[in-house]
Amino acid sequence: MRFVLILLAGLLLAGAAHALSLADISGRDASGGLKEALTQGAGKAVDLLGRQDGFLGNPKVKIPLPESVQQIEGLLRGLGMGRQADELINAMNRAAEAAVPQAKTLLVNSIRQMSLQDAKGILSGGEDSATQYFRRSTAGPLTEKFKPVVKKAMAKVKLAEKYDQLAGKAAKLGLVREQDAQLENYVTQKTLDGLYLMIAEEEKAIRKDPAGAAGKLAQKVFGALR
């Protein structure tokens, strides 16, 4: 019996000796593993959204009519304008799907330029700390990238132009929120929100299951965080 207890104790000690903590990983490896994982997660988020029905077919990110317009959406449909409302919703989501692929290069550059301090903050932060890093570092440039693509896509829909005219007047009367008065601004912001939401989901998945990370270095780093 004593021999069995000694053997079990030895196995436990051996396991502890081989268990890896973040402190055991060099700063270079930790940064490299993190960048591997972020490149994977950001790329997958872009690929999921930047395709047919990437937005329109995903309830989590599907872009609805602006909030202030939703309040009268039922009335519009009751007046036989349901087709026009659906056409506008379809156009907004197609515009978002066309814009998202523009994000990949900016996201990858943001990862490459990440400082060691940024990497430490992400590894020691909450489950969406990498996503928050992307928001801080890419929201401005992505807005500039997305807006022309969204504008071009929305210009194909005459109803969008009519909306801007009516919403602009309604905004002056306080009937529509200022940020909802121009569809290209609204759709651009919703595109950003959808992208960061999907990046957050990919980040959460990698933290939960490090074995699902693409590179061995990423698996090593995120496995040590568990």
Q: What is the 3-state secondary structure (H, E, C) of the chain?
A: CHHHHHHHHHHHHHHHHHCCCHHHCCHHHHHHHHHHHHHHHHHHHHHHHCCCCCCCCCCCCCCCCCHHHHCCHHHHHHCCCHHHHHHHHHHHHHHHHHHHHHHHHHHHHHHHCCCHHHHHHHHHCCCCHHHHHHHHHHHHHHHHHHHHHHHHHHCCCHHHHHHHHHHHHHHHCCCCCHHHCCHHHHHHHHHHHHHHHHHHHHHHHHHHCHHHCCCHHHHHHHHHHC
- Using alpha carbons, select from 80, 85, 59, 33 the residue that is nearest to residue 216: 33
> pLDDT tens digits for 162-220?
666 555 555 665 655 656 657 888 999 999 999 999 999 998 888 787 666 555 655 66
136 or 27, which is more confident? 136
- pLDDT grade, residue 119 (50/70/90)? confident
Cα(172)–Cα(182) distance, integer angstroms:
13
Q: What confidence tier does 65 reach under pLDDT thresholds 50, 70, 90? A: confident
121-172 confidence digits (pLDDT tens): 888 888 899 999 999 999 999 999 999 999 888 887 766 666 665 555 556 6
Q: In the predicted model, is pLDDT for residue 62 greater than 90?
A: yes
Identify the pLDDT of residue 3.
Answer: 30
pLDDT for residue 52: 96
Predicted local distance difference test score (pLDDT) of residue 138:
97
Residues ≥6 apart with Cβ < 8 Å to 63: 55, 89, 92, 93, 96, 187, 190, 191, 194
CB–CB of 28/217 below 8 Å?
no
Over range 1-21, report the average pLDDT: 34
Contact, 181 vs 164, CB < 8 A? yes
So what's the pLDDT on residue 225? 57
